[in-house]
């Protein structure tokens, strides 16, 4: 293309990076030139974009000259090391790691919710944690209508949230079970096939994990509610793709189940899927590959007069990561 932008994808061989390439194609993002980066062992290999091979490059300052937007899909340590270097080379970085999310100078953006925050960036914009994005999407219309006071959220997180190693482990353990062989955990601390692991990330002194505190702190930042009470529990489940969250939200103004259905149905990026009589509710196998977050099982909380309970599912590789990042880039283009 003669017109368009020079785009970089760092971590292009990982699950989130591969999905980013796919989303750029699907949304017809104006890519004039694509540069891809991954770990040192991948340099010289290639990924496919628009049917053509693109060589993996080495991460170094010179490789980012002329880049307009860089999608960073590597870990937090790599982001802290390389993102400032990429910005110095002249690019805007959209980072999917935890490195900059709680930095007060870095916008934490979900475009349907706080697009205005993107205007205040200084070269780096952060994508929230995948679980946070899926959870906060239905919280926003409830907050606008009734002002949130408390959120209880239990997440059921797919193994692809842990990257390609998580996917491989579930597949290998399932095949081992079918062959009658021992199920050996290598990536997760316990067997993941046919099991639930109620701990993601390391534990803090208060008994909460790092993953759980991401949900607390990021939700507060995105919704601009620093005092919001959030009670999180995160669970790893033997599902390949799509995170599911059971949420109970309390508001100052009571929101009925019927009103909530109307709010969810009209909110961009949400799909209402709530027909229990026909066994119709969101499930990971139905939501995988979709950009919307699907919400159902909507009912008023039996234990709180202003409480509302619901079930929300989102493909964490798409809206939880790649789609959200590309949407942020589209915001930058429009502004």
Is the confidence at residue 230, as pLDDT, over 90? Answer: yes
Separation of alpha carbons 98 and 35, rounded Å: 23
CA distance readout (Å), 43 to 37, 40, 254, 266, 283: 8, 5, 56, 45, 38
Model confidence over 3-19: pLDDT tens digits? 899 999 999 998 899 99
Mean pLDDT of the region 29-43: 94
Separation of alpha carbons 234 and 215, rounded Å: 9
- The pLDDT assigned to 163 comes to 87
Instruction: Evaluate whether the domain defined by 132-315 bears CATH number 3.30.360.10.
Output: yes
Model confidence over 240-294: pLDDT tens digits? 999 999 999 999 999 999 999 999 999 999 999 999 999 999 999 999 999 999 9
- Catalytic annotation, residues: 130, 243
CA distance readout (Å), 325 to 109, 190, 260: 9, 32, 27
Query: Which tokens belong to 50?
Result: 């628009």
Bridge-based pairing of strands 229-236 and 31-37 is unpaired
Closest CA to 59 of 128, 106, 73, 122: 73
Separation of alpha carbons 42 and 12, rounded Å: 10
Classified by CATH at the fold level, domain 5-127+321-334 comes out as Rossmann fold (3.40.50)
Could you give the residue ranges of the DSSP H alpha helices within the chain? 15-26, 76-88, 111-114, 130-146, 164-179, 210-223, 257-266, 284-287, 323-334
What radius of gyration do the chain's Cα atoms show? 20
Separation of alpha carbons 261 and 72, rounded Å: 36
Could you give the residue ranges of the DSSP H alpha helices within 180-269? 210-223, 257-266
Is the confidence at residue 313, as pLDDT, over 60? Answer: yes
Q: Is the pTM of this model over 0.75?
A: yes
Is the confidence at residue 120, as pLDDT, over 80? Answer: yes
| Contact predicate 141/113, CB 8 Å | no
Model confidence over 52-88: pLDDT tens digits? 999 999 998 899 999 999 999 988 999 999 999 999 9
Is the confidence at residue 109, as pLDDT, over 60? Answer: yes
| Contact predicate 300/69, CB 8 Å | no
Per-domain residue ranges of the chain? 5-127+321-334, 132-315
> Mean pLDDT, the chain, as a whole number?
96
> What share of the chain has pLDDT > 90, as a percent?
94
Mean pLDDT of the region 228-239: 98
Separation of alpha carbons 53 and 243, rounded Å: 31
């Amino acid at each position: 293309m003669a017109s368009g932008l020079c785009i970089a994808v760092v971590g292009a061989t990982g699950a989130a990076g591969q999905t980013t390439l796919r989303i750029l194609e699907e949304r017809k993002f104006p890519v004039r030139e694509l540069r891809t980066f991954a770990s040192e062992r991948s340099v010289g290999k290639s990924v496919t974009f628009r049917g053509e091979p693109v060589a993996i490059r080495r991460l170094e300052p010179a490789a980012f000259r002329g880049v307009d937007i860089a999608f960073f899909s590597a870990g937090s340590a790599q982001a802290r090391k390389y993102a400032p270097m990429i910005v110095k080379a002249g690019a805007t970085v959209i980072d999917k790691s935890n490195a900059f999310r709680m930095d007060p100078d870095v916008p934490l953006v979900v475009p349907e919710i706080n697009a205005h925050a993107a205007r205040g960036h200084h070269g780096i914009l952060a994508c929230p944690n995948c679980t946070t994005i899926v959870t906060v999407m239905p919280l926003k219309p409830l907050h606008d209508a009734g002002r949130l006071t408390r959120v209880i959220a239990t997440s059921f997180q797919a193994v692809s949230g842990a990257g390609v190693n998580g996917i491989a482990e579930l597949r290998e353990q399932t095949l081992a079970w079918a062959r009658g062989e021992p199920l050996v955990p290598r990536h997760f601390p316990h067997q993941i096939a046919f099991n639930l692991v109620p701990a993601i990330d390391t534990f803090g002194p208060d008994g909460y994990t790092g993953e759980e505190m991401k949900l607390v702190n990021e939700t507060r930042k995105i919704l601009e509610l620093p005092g919001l009470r959030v009670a999180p529990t995160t669970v790893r489940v033997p599902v390949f793709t799509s995170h599911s969250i059971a949420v109970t939200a309390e508001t100052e103004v009571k929101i009925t189940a019927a009103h909530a259905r109307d709010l969810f149905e009209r909110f961009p990026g949400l799909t209402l899927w709530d027909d229990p009589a026909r066994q119709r509710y969101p499930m990971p196998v139905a939501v995988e590959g979709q950009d919307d977050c699907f919400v159902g099982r909507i009912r008023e909380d039996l234990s709180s007069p202003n409480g509302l309970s619901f079930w929300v599912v989102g493909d964490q590789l798409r809206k939880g990561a790649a789609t959200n990042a590309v949407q942020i880039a589209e915001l930058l283009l429009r502004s």
